[in-house]
A = this chain, B = another copy of it.
Amino acid sequence: MAGNTFGTVFKLTTFGESHGVAIGGVIDGCPAGISLDLDKIQEELDKRRPGQSAIVTQRKEPDTVEFLSGIFEGKTTGTPIGFTIKNANQKSKDYSHIKDSYRPSHADYTYDEKYGVRDYRGGGRSSARETACRVVGGAIAKQLLPQISITAYTASVGHIKLDKEYKDIDFSLIESNPVRCPDTASADKMEAYIREIRAQGDTVGGTVQCVIKNVPKGLGEPVFDRLHAQLGKAMLSINAVKGFEYGSGFEGTAMKGSDHNDLFNTDGSTRTNLSGGIQGGISNGMDIYFNVAFKPVATIMQKQQTINSKGEEVEMVGKGRHDPCVVPRAVPIVEAMAALVLADFWLLNKLSRI
């Protein structure tokens, strides 16, 4: 049950259900002396916020973070940073219809099986609303590591792929479109496809790619806490994620060692980067890049057969205001989780040698 804390020395603990009083969290282990830019934190939250564009859920939630502790005269004090985000818009009636029924491919059934009780309002704890707290934590982690740049973007929506290598991406284009795809042509296709899917009352999946630049060498704690292992866990802990690969990933499995090895330049950098910036679980200073797979949102606006808690067949039609594709709003969450991992390992690496 105690699975709501992430990190070893830079720790984020989150709490809250989608339709409770508030969600929130505690960051423990943030060093003292960081001048926090609170507006930047809110900006990250706004990137995740519902209703930000025509192709995401139209729910109205301001998602304003309030900090309760750990910051004094604009600086972190080294004490825990507590924060809350009020649940402004609690349309519980939208969810009354699932009180006794299990939505297919949702967590309703498994929560009931595990806990014997479930907050059925909007998925309760299993709702992706919880990820707003991760964005707050990640935004603070980013300010601890200003030199490191963490950039995520939409790499595919359904079958439509961004056909560019991470090296050739123009990051300035990411926010130029609601899909967050740094290629205008692909972005247009993706947006059109999302509108088409939504018109069908359906949903679609996609992938997010993340690139991390200016990573210090030495981050990662083998053998179990390898940098990419923790990044993988971080991504897989995000709602709807089905897969993670870094560097050459699954494609690399078909390569020969003689083609796959990254030969060194004399400065320690490598000519190629199929390793994805990580060797033996430790960063080597090259760019880190990875892909995260998101399944199609389970809540569709079509009629579905399902069962209720008595095991009786019932019919269900999705209500509420959901995302036809989770990927555009997942981009800031991927960045946030990556930042949390890097902050933790950056601190731990200070202990590697005397």
Residues of B within 8 A of A156 (CB): 253-254
20 contacts between A and B (CB under 8 A): A3-B226, A4-B79, A15-B80, A17-B72, A107-B280, A110-B218, A110-B283, A114-B352, A158-B253, A203-B257, A205-B254, A205-B260, A224-B237, A229-B233, A233-B236, A242-B276, A243-B243, A244-B245, A245-B245, A261-B298
**By the criterion CB–CB under 8 Å, are A77 and B246 in contact?**
no
Total A residues in contact with B, Cβ cutoff 8 Å: 154
**Closest beta carbon of chain B to A295's beta carbon, Å:** 5
Bitwise interface map of A from 316 to 354 toward B, beta carbon under 8 Å scored 1, else 0: 000000000000000000000000000000011111111
Bitwise interface map of A from 193 to 215 toward B, beta carbon under 8 Å scored 1, else 0: 00001001011111100000000
Does residue A266 face the partner (Cβ distance < 8 Å to B)? yes
Does residue A38 face the partner (Cβ distance < 8 Å to B)? no
The 9 closest A-B CB pairs, nearest first, are: A107-B280, A3-B221, A243-B245, A3-B225, A15-B82, A2-B29, A203-B257, A110-B282, A233-B233
**By the criterion CB–CB under 8 Å, are A13 and B28 in contact?**
yes
Given A110-B282, A205-B254, A226-B236: A104 and B262 interface contact (C-beta under 8 Å): yes
**Closest beta carbon of chain B to A135's beta carbon, Å:** 13
**Closest beta carbon of chain B to A286's beta carbon, Å:** 11
Copies of the protein in its oligomer: 4
Additional A-B contacts beyond A22-B69, A126-B281, A226-B237 (8; CB < 8 A):
A14-B80, A20-B69, A77-B118, A105-B257, A105-B260, A106-B279, A130-B223, A260-B296
**By the criterion CB–CB under 8 Å, are A125 and B222 in contact?**
yes
Given A15-B70, A124-B77: A104 and B253 interface contact (C-beta under 8 Å): no
